[in-house]
Structure 1
């Protein structure tokens, strides 16, 4: 079987909807709602079609396609700037130190403060891989192809990039963090709030969320122990982000308490090391394993393959990669070592 990543299309709606039903909740960027998914696909179509090569308010959606069957088996997204349609809220963990001379005691209190510090950043997110394909390394293809896309369309993305990881969800589909913090003010379950956010945006957070810092010591133990902790299924994704140069800097999601990772876009490993080159040969037998991509915007596609870069910058690739990418000698591709 051969897989490639390509730009999503409106025709992918039903397959994305079927995948969305497998997420188990907490995936705001992949709601199990046809209307919301249609809006996302339409917005992505507009972003791919935008001709001005500058920073806008775009959402790009890619899908992992089995080229033999046409099945969509995964998806991921990139946002050029968050917080443009409505505020982008996060909790930031901070420490307040106070000292009493009379008691000769210093107390350090950990706080969660509601902030919009990350507005204007680009975001990589919405990554979901069909459970049947999780043994083939396709999660890495999905994740790192986003950075190749950014490198190939650098002017359309901000100087800082973030990635939100899903937080801990219990066996009931609820969030201990939500129950311990925001749920007390909203009168909504986590599932209700998460679904509403996915469909309508998070302006309701601005309307109803208390603006005062939350003292972590006042939370119940179940909420405390999941702050900044990724869902068990997201631990590998967190390691991949760290390998790319992302770091946790004290920002957590306001819904489930999952960590928000940040990086300078130009310092993300797969952006920094991505190399363009003209194809010199499409019959490479032995070479360096790599991610290889081609195309612009709606014609973008990427695959796993082999490469060999010559001193003049030209690149030889294997026949399967060339066939799947639909490129030949003289065409431009971008690549980064696997």
Structure 2
């Protein structure tokens, strides 16, 4: 498999735009708008080139490239700290309990509270894989490479990490949650609001969104039914997040009601389990037994910092004083004997 994850560059604009058109809406971090994507790529370049440590308002955009065809087939992003330029809003599901002595009954009401609790957290998002590549573990390669980048640049990221999963979108491209809550206040449909947010940010939420709690019981059945539910295409992503240690703590997206997952950054499984080692030798014998090879364990392997970062799958044999790496992975990553790699087992 000759796929690598690498930092995106300006030449990736067209394939990213083509992928954005395939998302089907509700994918704020990958808008089908050339100007917005160009701005993302420029901001990402600034993040990769920034000298110095510390958490700042950086964006890192990565792409999945097939080295054999030179085609870009996927993408993902990391925001070092959300809510730096404008508030990062979520709804948090809470409860209000009241007791009536006369009726001898206790009433519990579930409530949506507008919250900026997650401001300052690192966000992993913008993950999209071309439909033709949704096999062979490439989705996991894209997702987990971000955590190894965070690990190896730990000072640039926050102590908490979040991931917003896209909520339920109906066949017409609308959002039952938006229609039941925010749509009543904004005078625009979900597609228009989502596009505006992708291009200009969500400051208009601060200007127009009602600040008082929303009683869930007063919403339509369609809106209530999708609260905290991921889009069908996002269920696998949710399972991968849970494998990494993310959990849903009752935060949802203010646009479509999808779940926002959170975790302590240092407790992300890939961050905890990854190791660094020097390459002792490159071997032609390590690899998939189905290809007539034997030895080693299939790993997610990375090398390099910032704009030199690369990630790929490889076969690794761990020794006392270093590792042996298979030839294909070494070629994909551009490494050789004596270089240091980071690796973590593939699940």
Structure 2 distance, partners of 1:53, 1:66, is: 32
Q: Where does residue 214 of structure 1 map in the other structure?
A: 214
Asked if 1:157 is matched to 2:157, the reply is yes
Deviations 1:32-83 (A, max 9, x none): 0000000000000000000112211100000000101111000000011000
Deviations 1:61-114 (A, max 9, x none): 000001011110000000110000111000000011100111111000000000
Structure 2 distance, partners of 1:282, 1:216, is: 59
Q: Where does residue 325 of structure 1 map in the other structure?
A: 333
TM-score (norm 1): 0.99
Task: Give the one of 335, 342, 346 matched to 1:334.
Answer: 342
TM-score (norm 2): 0.96
Runs (5+) with no aligned partner, structure 1? none
Q: Where does residue 305 of structure 1 map in the other structure?
A: 314
Q: Where does residue 181 of structure 2 map in the other structure?
A: 181
Q: Where does residue 84 of structure 1 map in the other structure?
A: 84
Structure 1 distance, partners of 2:216, 2:153, is: 41
Secondary structure, counterpart of 2:261 in structure 1: strand
Q: Where does residue 294 of structure 1 map in the other structure?
A: 303
Q: Where does residue 323 of structure 2 map in the other structure?
A: 315
Secondary structure, counterpart of 1:88 in structure 2: coil
Displacement of 1:160: 0.4
Secondary structure, counterpart of 1:77 in structure 2: strand
Secondary structure, counterpart of 1:227 in structure 2: coil
Runs (5+) with no aligned partner, structure 2? 287-294
Q: Where does residue 289 of structure 2 map in the other structure?
A: none
Structure 2 distance, partners of 1:267, 1:333, is: 21
Structure 1 distance, partners of 2:32, 2:131, is: 16
Deviations 1:172-203 (A, max 9, x none): 00000000000000010000000000000000
Q: Where does residue 121 of structure 2 map in the other structure?
A: 121
Q: Where does residue 278 of structure 2 map in the other structure?
A: 278
Q: Where does residue 148 of structure 1 map in the other structure?
A: 148
Secondary structure, counterpart of 1:282 in structure 2: strand
Runs of 4 or more, structure 1, over 6 Å off, are none
Q: Where does residue 110 of structure 1 map in the other structure?
A: 110
Structure 2 distance, partners of 1:311, 1:118, is: 42
Q: Where does residue 170 of structure 2 map in the other structure?
A: 170
Deviations 1:99-133 (A, max 9, x none): 01111110000000000000000010000000111
Displacement of 1:308: 1.6
Deviations 1:213-261 (A, max 9, x none): 0000000000000000000000000000000000000000000000000
Q: Where does residue 195 of structure 1 map in the other structure?
A: 195
Displacement of 1:281: 1.4
